[in-house]
Amino acid sequence: MFALIVSLRIKPEKRERFLQAAEENSTASVRDERGCLRFDVVEDQAEPTHFFYYEVYRDESAFDAHKQTPHYARWRQAATECVVEGGQQNTRCTVLFPRDYS
- Binding region for a copy of itself (CB under 8 A): 3, 5, 19, 22-23, 26-27, 30, 39-46, 51-52, 54, 56, 91-98
The answer to whether the beta carbons of residues 71 and 21 sit under 8 Å apart is no
Shortest Å, Cβ 72 to a copy of itself: 16
Q: Which residues of 37-58 are buried (b: 16+ CB within 10 A; e: fewer)?
A: bbbebeeeeeeebebbbebbbb
Alpha-carbon distance of 92 to 89, in angstroms, equals: 10
Shortest Å, Cβ 86 to a copy of itself: 18
Shortest Å, Cβ 61 to a copy of itself: 15
Q: Give the nearer residue to a copy of itself in terms of CB position, either 70 or 98.
A: 98
